[in-house]
């Protein structure tokens, strides 16, 4: 499927978002909860599937050797699904899109195209960072950002626990935990990550990238708001009710 520049994501909010957020914060203080459900969400205009938020990851190609010079890097986009009957903190994860390339600059181009398609301009938290190894290809990233407006530059963040020894093991375990009953991670029509998990090679970029993002989401529930200092801004046209 070709990527288009048209966004398929629509921002929706409660009719009274500020009041709703304040009420949820007050209840969270009473019950001792550090996070709350945000008073906005996102709708896929093609499928009508709703998400609390959408996140992206990058798996850079491995270091070149005689054996793996054709190994590809990976770009993945994961939606945190808003579904009736499932508590926000237990939300399901859906692979929305995937791309591969042996060329790092091409991977960055995919990031730019995919974030437009999946709602980058809808809200400040939408695809704000791409989770990956922040120390590789810094010059390539700087050159790419130099061609973009400052407000459109690509931002990179390390997945949680990235610098711990043997973290690939934990990332794989986080992925596999979401594939056990009750299943929490769904592939949809996307096969890249699914196939790589079945083949399974140590430090596979696709698995490391998606595993790092899933591990981060499980660790911090990034799609939910904090009880203090939560950023919120929404246009009137995006309200429902």
User: pLDDT tens digits for 230-239?
Assistant: 444 555 455 5
Share of residues in the chain with pLDDT > 90 (%): 70
Supply the pLDDT for residue 1.
Answer: 45
Asked if residue 2 belongs to a domain, the reply is: no
- pLDDT for 191: 95
Cβ neighbors of 141 (< 8 A, separation 6 or more) are 108, 154, 156
- pLDDT (average), residues 162-190: 96
Q: Look up the CATH number of the domain holding residue 189.
A: 3.30.420
Q: Is residue 123 one of the residues assigned to a domain?
A: yes
Check residue 230 and give its pLDDT: 46
pLDDT tens digit sequence for 91-115: 999 999 999 999 999 999 999 999 9
Range of the domain at 205: 9-238
Comparing C-alpha atoms, which of 44, 36, 57 is closest to residue 127? 57
Q: Helices 205-220 & 167-179, crossing angle to 10 degrees?
A: 70
4 inside domain: no
Which pLDDT tens digit goes with each residue over 146-160?
A: 999 988 999 999 999
Query: Is-above-0.75 flag for pTM?
Result: yes
The yes-or-no verdict on residue 143 having pLDDT over 90 is yes
Alpha helices in the chain (DSSP H): 17-31, 104-117, 138-146, 167-179, 192-199, 205-220
Instruction: Please tell me whether residue 230 adopts helix, strand or coil conformation.
Output: coil
Question: Can you give the pLDDT at residue 36?
Answer: 72
On average, the pLDDT of the chain sits at 87
Mean pLDDT for 29-56 is 84
Q: 78 with 95: CB under 8 angstroms?
A: yes
Measured distance CA(178)–CA(175) in Å, rounded: 5
Cα 210 versus chain centre, distance: 9
Predicted pLDDT of residue 231: 46
Q: Say what the pLDDT of residue 218 is.
A: 96
Higher pLDDT, 241 or 197: 197
* Mean local confidence (pLDDT), 66-83: 86
First to last CA, the chain: 35
Q: Please give the residue that has the higher pLDDT: either 181 or 64.
A: 181
Mean pLDDT in residue range 207-223 = 96
pLDDT at 241 over 50: no
| 223 in Cβ contact with 217 (< 8 Å) | yes
Q: Is residue 1 part of a domain?
A: no
Query: Total domain count for the chain?
Result: 1
């Amino acid at each position: 499927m070709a990527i288009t520049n048209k966004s398929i994501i629509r921002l929706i909010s409660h009719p009274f978002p500020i009041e709703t957020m304040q009420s949820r914060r007050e209840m969270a203080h009473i019950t001792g909860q550090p996070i709350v459900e945000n008073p906005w969400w996102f709708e896929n205009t093609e499928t009508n599937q709703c998400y609390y938020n959408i996140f992206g990851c990058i798996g850079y190609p491995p270091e070149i050797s005689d054996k793996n010079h054709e190994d590809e890097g990976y770009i993945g986009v994961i939606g945190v699904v808003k579904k009736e009957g499932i508590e926000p903190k237990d939300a399901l994860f859906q692979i929305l899109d995937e791309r591969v390339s042996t060329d790092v600059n091409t991977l960055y181009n995919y990031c730019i195209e995919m974030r437009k398609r999946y709602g980058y301009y809808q809200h400040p938290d939408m695809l704000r960072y791409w989770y990956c190894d922040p120390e590789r290809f810094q010059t390539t990233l700087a050159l790419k950002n130099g061609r973009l407006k400052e407000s459109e530059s690509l931002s990179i963040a390390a997945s949680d626990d990235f610098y711990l020894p043997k973290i690939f093991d934990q990332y794989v375990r986080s992925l596999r935990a979401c594939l056990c009953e009750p299943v929490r991670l769904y592939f949809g029509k996307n096969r890249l990550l699914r196939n790589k998990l079945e083949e399974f090679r140590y430090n596979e970029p696709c698995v490391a990238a998606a595993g790092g993002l899933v591990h981060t989401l499980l660790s911090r529930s990034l799609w939910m708001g904090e009880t203090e200092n939560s950023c919120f801004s929404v246009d009137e046209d995006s309200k429902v009710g």
